[in-house]
Amino acid sequence: MPTTTTIGADLFRSLLRRHAAGVVVITAAGARPAGFTATSFTSVSLDPPLVSFCLDRRSSSWPTLERAEYVGVHVLTEAQEELARRFATSGIDRFAAPVAWQPGPHGVPVLSGALAVLVCRVADRVHAGDHAIVLASPIHGEHSEGAPLLYHDGRYLKAA
């Protein structure tokens, strides 16, 4: 008979590492800009346009994201692995040089060189376990040509 108990955190993490994902950096304006690397970004709806991403509510970025009206989603290129690592590192100023960025629409920090950038209005936040699922509606977007940065089995990979 199947068990109804949940699997442990280590097994859960190991299972999910088998799923390849694109890498994004989410940014938000605040007293100090906040940003973090995520692989949980996905499209949700075409009509109306909605995207989502998840964030640990214990993250140093959560207090800013919890209040942000607008966020930036930056789809990283295969050449931006160091940027992904920087925004995944705790306890540093993620926006300090050599990171190139500027304020975009609604003051959202926009990083230079991303494969695609979406500036989105936050539509909802749903608490789910220790994370929040953020639903956002794109209001501005731009893109360039190139290959995306991927994440699989605990490491960054190039698409080709």
Q: Model confidence at 16, in pLDDT bands (50, 70, 90)?
A: confident
Give the residue, 59 or 13, on which the prediction is more confident. Answer: 59
Which one, of 66, 85, 59, 84, lies nearest residue 124 by Cα? 66
Computed over every residue of the chain, the mean pLDDT equals: 94
What percent of the chain lies above the pLDDT cut of 70?
98
Strand stretches in the chain, DSSP E: 21-22, 24-28, 34-38, 42-46, 49-56, 70-75, 101-103, 109-111, 116-128, 131-143, 149-152, 155-158
Q: How confident is the model at residue 5, as a pLDDT?
A: 77
- Least Cα distance to 70 among 137, 126, 116, 143 occurs for 137
> How much is the average pLDDT of 43-57?
96
Distance CA 43, CA 135 (A): 10
Domain boundaries, given as residue ranges, for the chain? 23-142
Q: How confident is the model at residue 18 (pLDDT cuts 50, 70, 90)?
A: confident
Query: In this predicted structure, what is the pLDDT of residue 144?
Result: 96
| Confidence grade of residue 1 (pLDDT, cut at 50, 70, 90) | low
Residue 42: HSE in the Cβ half-sphere, 13 Å Cα cutoff: 7
Give dist(CA 141, CA 117) in Å, integer.
6
CATH 3.40.640.10 fits 23-142, yes or no: no
Q: How confident is the model at residue 146 (pLDDT cuts 50, 70, 90)?
A: very high
Q: What are the DSSP calls for 77-96, one per residue?
A: BTT-HHHHHHHT-TTS-TTS
